[in-house]
Amino acid sequence: MSTTLTVTDLTLTFPDGSDRITALDRVNLRVRGGQIAAITGPSGSGKSTLLAAVSTLLRPDSGRIELDTSSGTADLATLSRREAATLRRESIGIVFQQSNLVPALTAIEQLEAMVHLGQTWFVSPARRRETRTRARDLLDAVGLSGHEDKRPAQLSGGQRQRVNIARALMNEPSLLVIDEPTSALDQERGAAIITLIMNIVRDHRAATLLVTHDRAHLHRMDSVHHMVDGVLTPETTVVMS
């Protein structure tokens, strides 16, 4: 069975003095494996909050976030912290708006850490080699061959973003959430990153949520949704067979 993400009536509020801000207001959304749903909308409308809720980093007030994969169905809205941490490590690729690379690690080590972090037992040399090969291939896929041994401070903003994307793919996630991958890039590099993400999503069959301000790429997405004040409205839906 292929992956499907189904978000139903998702509501999330933040405390705001004596009141609360409604960051997500009964959001509904469905994304299948291999498809990208684009989320657009003004600053402060709730886009990053939606990604945080879908990736289990924020607990919603109500609603469901169902992830169907070949290993079963999970409601991401009600997992325990421990279950959520395991799911994030194994099945969710997250690319934040701000790059959050570890300053001391080289590009290739950022990717390898994704695999080795989850391992509490001895990692065999064969497994290490396999991990290194995959990390190298992914860095190559994002156009960073030759930069494997550089630390974040030695990379440009766009290069750091590409390391972020490669890292999110390290564990072959079923669910991929990407916040503003092209904001620090020029038109040409931005288009290249979108093409890269599309190819990777198709190859890995990840259900993908992509927040972007860049309308130039929206026609390439499987569906486009607009967020205003926490309310998500479909703009277009192109169902791919």
Query: What residue ranges bind ligand ATP (CB under 6 A)?
Result: 14, 21, 23, 41, 43-49, 97
Distance of CA 180 to the CA centre of its chain: 10
Residue number, 45 or 69, with CB nearest to ligand ATP: 45
In sequence order, which ranges of the chain are alpha helices (DSSP H)? 47-54, 81-91, 107-116, 125-141, 157-168, 187-204
**Binding partner of 14, given Mg ion, ligand ATP, none, CB within 5-8 angstroms per partner class:** ligand ATP
Nearest-5° angle of CA 168, CA 172, CA 175?
70
Count of beta carbons in the 10 Å neighbourhood of residue 60: 24
Residue number, 128 or 213, with CB nearest to Mg ion: 213
Question: Contacts with Mg ion in 8-67 (CB under 5 A)?
Answer: 48
CA distances from 15 to 19, 25, 27 (A): 6, 15, 19
Contact yes or no for 5/35 (Cβ under 8 A): no
**Binding partner of 46, given Mg ion, ligand ATP, none, CB within 5-8 angstroms per partner class:** ligand ATP
Residue number, 8 or 97, with CB nearest to ligand ATP: 97
User: Quick one: tokens of 141?
Assistant: 């896929």
Q: Give me the least distance between CB of 117 and ligand ATP, in Å please.
A: 25
**Binding partner of 13, given Mg ion, ligand ATP, none, CB within 5-8 angstroms per partner class:** none
x/- map, 83-112, Mg ion, by CB under 5 A: ------------------------------
Residue number, 46 or 158, with CB nearest to ligand ATP: 46
Q: Give me the least distance between CB of 161 and Mg ion, in Å please.
A: 15
Beta bridge partners of 27: 10
Residue number, 32 or 47, with CB nearest to ligand ATP: 47
**Binding partner of 80, given Mg ion, ligand ATP, none, CB within 5-8 angstroms per partner class:** none
Mind giving me the DSSP string for 54-106?
HTTSS--SEEEEEEEETTEEEETTS--HHHHHHHHHHHEEEE-SS----TTS-
- Rg (alpha carbons) of the chain, rounded to whole number: 18
Q: Give me the least distance between CB of 180 and ligand ATP, in Å please.
A: 7
